[in-house]
Amino acid sequence: MNEEFAHKVLIVDDEPHIRAFLRLVVGELGALEVREAGDGPNALLMYKHFEPNLVLLDVNLPGDDGLAILGQLRKLDPQARVVMMTAVASREMVEKCIAGGVLNYIRKDSPRALLLQLLRETWAAATAKPAA
Amino acid sequence: MPDPLPSAALPPISTPVGEVRFSLPQLLREVDYERQNSALGRELVDQAEIKAMLHRRRLPENAPPG
């Protein structure tokens, strides 16, 4: 049976209040352990040690942006499950992140109910076993 | 009957191109810049469009061979 939601979630966002909000959201979905990083280098370090099932990654980060961090995460773990959570939703950025293999690209200015629904659906789709 | 004005005094029918201010490479660079930075380039896509983009991306992976 699939987990209802990721047990271990890493939230990468430079804004503490957004991290706090997303922590509540994933907690509501059933995440048991949540860690936070405010920038790319910390996110990569934390990924290695925490080994999360899911990463929520912002695009606008100090230093390397989320797209660059996505590439570095992929090198670290090609199977990394990453959802972009951002207010930056230019067509170009969305296309690049999709090409980078993200599970979803969610606008964090979406209503809370939609965020919950999208994250739940994304996790279910990512962990669904293929039909026999 | 008065004489018609001499041709030199008449305004030109159309103004011929006297100079080119920007080269073609400059213009192309400008167009490229506009594409990346204009409202069109920064067009925000909504969640439904993102979903459609993700779906399109996954279709080739899931499509049956042949």
Q: Report the length, in residues, of chain A.
A: 132
* Ordered domains of chain A (ranges, CATH): 8-127 (3.40.50.2300)
- What pLDDT was estimated at residue A125? 87
Unique residue bearing structure tokens 């896509």? B45
Residue B1 falls within a domain, yes or no? no
- What pLDDT was estimated at residue A53? 95
The one-character DSSP state at A107 is E
Give residue-wise pLDDT tens across range B5-49.
565 666 666 667 777 777 888 888 887 777 666 665 567 888 899
Residue B16 falls within a domain, yes or no? no
Name the residue range of residue B26's domain. Answer: 22-61
Collapsed DSSP state (helix, strand, coil) of residue A36:
strand
Residue B42 falls within a domain, yes or no? yes
Name the band, by pLDDT with cuts 50, 70 and 90, for residue A87.
Answer: confident
Name the band, by pLDDT with cuts 50, 70 and 90, for residue A91.
Answer: confident
Task: Residue window 11-50, chain B: list those with CB within 8 Å of chain A.
Answer: 36, 41-47, 50
Average pLDDT, chain A: 91
- What pLDDT was estimated at residue B6? 62
Residue B44 falls within a domain, yes or no? yes
Tell me the average pLDDT across A106-122. Answer: 91
- What pLDDT was estimated at residue A113? 92
Residue B2 falls within a domain, yes or no? no
pTM: 0.75
User: Can you say whether the dihedral through the CA atoms of A66, A21, A11, A126 is positive or negative?
Assistant: negative
- Helix, strand, coil shares of chain B, percent, nearest 5, are 50, 0, 50
Residues of chain A in contact with residue B57, where contact means CB-CB under 8 angstroms, are: 98-99
* Domains held by chain B: number: 1
